Amino acid sequence: MPEIREDFHSDFSIEQNWQDYSEEEHAIWRLLFERQQRLLVGRACDEFLDGLGALGVAADGIPDFRRLSEVLDAATGWRIVAVPGLVPDDVFFAYLARRCFPSTCFIRRRDQLDYLQEPDIFHDICGHVPLLMNPVFADYMQAYGEGGLKASGLGHLQHLARLYWYTVEFGLIATEEGLRIYGSGILSSAGESVYCLEDPRPNRIRFDLRRVMRTRYRIDDFQQTYFVIEAFQQLFDATRPDFEPIYREIAALPDIEPDTLIGSDRKLDRASWDPLTIGKKMGRRLSAAQV
Ligand code: HBI
Ligand code: FE
């Protein structure tokens, strides 16, 4: 693994130096990619799988950001910028606001295959970037960046970080084929890709912006609550209003622990996950063939 260099520019960008990756690093990429590819068919949402395919990200080895950025730019105007690791929130938001996704370029070690706390290149490229090929999600991510710059000015960063956490990182979407994953933190995790859909323990609650902004989250284990959207447009629409009145409204309300349910929650139970009922329950018209 290349050491995380300190020679970054003022915006924390570095060169990926794709030619410097070792055979061992490409081999770890192949391991991770092949395992997730088997797991995600039937679990990841179509928009993610379509984006992954269109990007041409392959099992054969760590991709070159320059090539990925060309494909991404042509599709939705986004580009990938290599950074050494987590960057300060305001730097992160400024990147998203100008359609640049800051991606780490180191890869985890073999003894970290199942978990590492901070993002590595597999999480960023195989978790986040494929959905940036989807125009609506790409617009949401830019709107999120713009909102983040504003929130940091208003001292409401934690509320926006929760929105990011429970959507971009750990979001689920209801489809006519059943519940599917779009959150990158799940898509790059073998264990959570199964747990989030099939384990009876976590709460699965229909998305509500204020509820999400009030809900704390854990970064060291699988989530205890997942929020479910009905379409990416719902996410984009939720980030259009001016957040200031919403911040004022929730500032007066207590935070909610990640394992807690409150009265107004619209909880999904197992019966509502199969294709036929989820279509009706979510008020969506199933095509004739599916009824
Ligand atoms: N930096 N490189 C990187 N990647 C992230 O996902 C990231 C970050 N900095 C801050 C951050 N995420 C979160 O605090 C967001 O909620 C802003
Ligand atoms: Fe992430």
Q: For 179-199, what is each residue's pLDDT tens digit?
A: 999 999 999 999 999 999 999
Cα(78) to centroid(ligand 2), Å: 16
Check pocket membership of 14 for ligand 1, CB cut-off 6 A.
no
Q: Which structure tokens are listed for 57?
A: 């990200």
Crossing angle (nearest 10°) for helices 135-154 and 244-251: 60
In the chain, domain spans: 18-290
Q: Band of the pLDDT at 254, cuts 50, 70, 90?
A: very high
Residues 45-73: what's their mean pLDDT?
94
Residues 107-122: what's their mean pLDDT?
92
Distances 91 to 73, 75, 97, 145, 244 between C-alpha atoms, Å: 21, 24, 10, 10, 21
Best mutation site among 11, 92, 100, 116 for ligand 1, i.e. most ligand atoms within 8 A of its Cβ? Answer: 92
Q: What is 18-290's CATH number, 3.40.50.720, 2.40.50.360, 3.40.50.2300, 1.10.800.10?
A: 1.10.800.10
Check pocket membership of 157 for ligand 1, CB cut-off 6 A.
no
Cα(119) to centroid(ligand 2), Å: 6
Check pocket membership of 86 for ligand 1, CB cut-off 6 A.
yes
pLDDT digits (tens, 9 = 90+) for 87-105: 998 899 999 999 999 999 9
